[in-house]
Amino acid sequence: MLVLAVGVSVQVTGVKNIGCRNSEKQRILHDCARLLRHDDLPIIVGRDSLCCCAVRAVPHKNMTCIAGLLTDAEKKLHSADKIQRLEPLC
């Protein structure tokens, strides 16, 4: 029983470690641009929007990985926090 629990734990934890690609980041920044500004406005996005389609194209909707790919110049234009908040919304 212990072996089974360890195996499940490894698999669940590994989901967030799946990589993402720069091309996926570029699509997120393009399709979600108006939602990712540094402002206090809430993120309101439709599940069928281009933005959510781009989010779902990333393996496991791993927006932490996408936020980690941001360059310093991109961080000035786009909120990494808002990128991460897209994951549960889409």
Tokens coding 37: 């500004």
In this structure, what are the phi and psi dihedrals at residue 32, rounded to the nearest 5 degrees?
-115, 10
Tokens coding 28: 């997120």
pTM to 2 decimal places: 0.78
Distance CA 86, CA 13 (A): 20
The answer to whether 25 and 69 are in contact (CB under 8 A) is yes
Q: State the maximum Cα–Cα separation within the chain, in Å, rounded to a whole number.
A: 49
| Per-position pLDDT tens, the chain of length 90 | 344 333 333 333 444 446 899 999 999 999 999 999 999 999 999 999 999 999 999 999 999 999 999 999 999 999 999 999 999 999
